Chains A and B, each alone.
Chain A
Amino acid sequence: MKKQLPIILGMVIGIIAVAEFYVPASGMRGIKTTLEGWALVLAAAAFVLGAINIVQVNYPKIRRMEPDWPYKVVLLACAAVMMLTGVAWHTFGGERANGSVKIAMGGGATAPMIKISAARDLALIQIGNDAPLDAATWRKQGGQVAVKAEVETPVRVFMPPEVKGYEEYNATILLHAGEVATVKTDLVMRWGKEGRVHTWLYDHIFAPCNATMFALLAFFIASAAFRAFRMRNTEAALLLGSAILVMIGSAPVGGYISDFFPDLRNWILSIPNNAGRRAIMIGAALGAVVTGLRVILGLERSHLGSD
């Protein structure tokens, strides 16, 4: 039963997935949607399994202090940090306000005033459609502004676009003659996938490391071209010659020298390359069809852990 049940499940779901292509009945679409929903849930669950697997593989090696164990500590620590910073901690215990407005009668002033203070110096303060001012400049200019009476004035306090991961404060204030509104803001730092820490780690650690690894390829390709790309036989000579011609044709300078190079490059890509690619793709597709049929018919059982 341990093996028969997965085989039967695979067979039934496989037949439905294939039949859906050929049966236009609307009921089939609903079944397909449900099955795809399950597939997405399984794919998401695989992340959890992946996390458990990373710990299972690396922790024993750290404990035994096997070669390169410090790298594994870094790996686990980074994974833990990214996971923890991905949680929206700021929503725990209820939402916190970004600011407050208090309206009171001013000391004899006839024009209404809005006083704004921002706890974060980088914050930008914008009144209506005026250009935003940073909090420090705003303070130097008195920290308040006169507005029209009986007219709604939008107030916006927000962090500059380069400082991601903060909530913004928005209010519309309606004042009467002689009133003063005091706005105090303390923009909440967000956690989670769009939070300050997560985006900072992404922008300043993940993105540069990821880009650096890819950029290093340029150097390794040049080194490999010098050391390994040798014309040892006819096949290698053909490969090398076509590679050089495609490179010259792909580089803008090739077209500058002569239209022959881009045309030749396009011909190589369109005719010999496509012929080879198609042969590989069709072969792989036929192989996938055969493997799929073997799974559906229960002939292929390697995915169940047996030979």
Chain B
Amino acid sequence: MADSSNEKLHWSVRLQRFDRRWVFLAMAVAILVPFILPCNVPYKASPMVKSLYYTIEELEPGDEVFVSLDYDPASMPELQPFLEALMLQLKRKNIKMVFATTWYSAPPLVQRDISELVERPIEPTGAYGGLPDRAYVKNKDFVWLGFREGREAVISAMGNDLWATFDNRADDGTPLSQIPMMQGYKQLKDFDLVIVVGAGYPGVKEYVQQVQARYNLRMVGACTAVSTTEYTPYYQAGQLLGLAGGMAGSAEYEMLVGRKATAAQGNDVLNAGYLVVILAIIFGNIIYFVSRKRKGGAVR
């Protein structure tokens, strides 16, 4: 019965009604195939990512950076590769790091990242042609301050008095006054660079609005692809010295650091995924115009 009614319908109508699970299947194939058969399409770093890389490269050994890790498991595929490359670049240069987060869902991820990327060497043999990094020691080479609820209020408070915002203690309870690397670093403006790895609200934008403009901080950021267009005005205005957006930004940054890893592999998936979306748009519009023409011409 269904088949006979379909035979009477124009092909454009039938295509308009086709099961959307075919689109899902096309997307699934587009995502899976590049993982199995990587194409390794070459790519170049964008000016925003280059600027981020060279801003960090300009830091001197022993400098101190503040790293805000505001992400959740959903944004890990886009931001985790960036974070790995960032930690490698900072550790190769012997930069000291102070970590904090304004996201309630982030602490377990941050603790895992600290354990795997900071407290252990990422490339101890100096593979990929770069310098080796080393294992950092807690409260000597890095400090984990923990999480504070309050979103923009917390960011503003950190700009004003970082120590007071975290009750003068690191996450493990050690008084900040007893941590040598925290001496002289009481406000965000005391740091040589502020790095925000942000997946949404609060994130890069809130840091720019609450503290960057006010204290004239040197600041770079990484965000999900969907936020890139939102933050580019800050890069253009010089408020952000660099920005890595989404998986593509992470892959470009990986390439500059000299350690192509998961984001580079993800780039192939991006190619195929974008292709499916573009084809879906074109295909959908062809059907739309054919059916509109048919209706306009009153042909049935």
**Chain A residues proximal to chain B, CB less than 8 Å:** 21, 29, 32-33, 36-37, 39-40, 43-44, 46-47, 161, 193-194, 199, 202-203, 206-208, 210-211, 213-215, 218-219, 221-223, 225-227, 229-231, 240, 243-244, 247-248, 250-253, 255-256, 262, 266, 269-270, 273-274, 277-278, 281
Contact = CB atoms under 8 A, between A and B. Distances in A.
A221 B148 CA distance: 34
A40 B161 CA distance: 13
Nearest to B288: A230
23 contacts: A33-B157, A33-B160, A43-B153, A161-B115, A207-B109, A208-B73, A210-B73, A211-B76, A218-B273, A219-B27, A219-B28, A222-B23, A223-B20, A229-B281, A229-B285, A230-B285, A247-B278, A250-B246, A251-B271, A252-B41, A274-B236, A277-B229, A277-B230
Contacts of B270: 250-252
Given A223-B24, A273-B229, A40 B273 contact: no
A243 B230 CA distance: 15
A242 B117 CA distance: 39
B267 interface: yes
Instruction: Identify the 9 closest CB pairs spanning chains A and B, nearest first.
Output: A214-B74, A252-B43, A43-B150, A207-B73, A36-B157, A226-B280, A39-B153, A225-B280, A251-B274
Contact of B153 (A40, A243, A255): A40
Interface string B116-150: 10000000000000000000000000000000111
B229 A269 contact: yes
Interface string B28-48: 100100000000011110110
B225 interface: yes
Among B28, B229, B246: residue with most chain A CB under 10 A: B229
- What is the interface residue range for chain B against chain A? 35 or more
Contacts of A248: 274, 278
Interface of B: 20, 23-24, 26-28, 31, 41-44, 46-47, 72-77, 105, 107-109, 111, 115-116, 148-151, 153-154, 156-157, 160-161, 164-165, 214, 225, 228-230, 232-233, 236, 246, 248, 251, 267-268, 270-271, 273-278, 280-281, 283-285, 288-289
A250 B73 contact: no
B47 A266 contact: yes
A270 B229 CA distance: 9
B107 A193 contact: yes
Among A213, A231, A250: residue with most chain B CB under 10 A: A250
Contacts of B275: 251, 253
Nearest to B147: A193
A39 to B, nearest CB: 4
Contacts of B150: 39-40, 43-44
A27 B258 CA distance: 49
A42 to B, nearest CB: 8
Contacts of B116: 161
A210 B105 contact: yes
A194 B111 contact: yes
A229 B191 CA distance: 46
A81 to B, nearest CB: 16
A45 to B, nearest CB: 9
Given A252-B270, A273-B232, A262 B24 contact: no
Contact of A274 (B75, B232, B273): B232
Contacts of A44: 149-150
A247 B228 CA distance: 13
Contact of B225 (A203, A219, A250): A250
Contacts of A230: 284-285, 288
A33 B233 contact: no
A40 B154 CA distance: 7
Given A226-B280, A244-B278, A252 B23 contact: no
A270 B150 CA distance: 32
Given A211-B74, A222-B27, A251-B271, A278 B105 contact: no
Contacts of A211: 73-74, 76-77
A273 B233 CA distance: 9
Contacts of B277: 221-222, 225, 247
A269 B251 CA distance: 19
B160 A225 contact: no
B281 A252 contact: no
A255 B44 contact: yes
Contacts of B251: 252
B22 to A, nearest CB: 9
Contact of A33 (B24, B105, B108, B164): B164
B232 A270 contact: yes
Among A21, A202, A262, A278: residue with most chain B CB under 10 A: A202
A40 B148 contact: yes
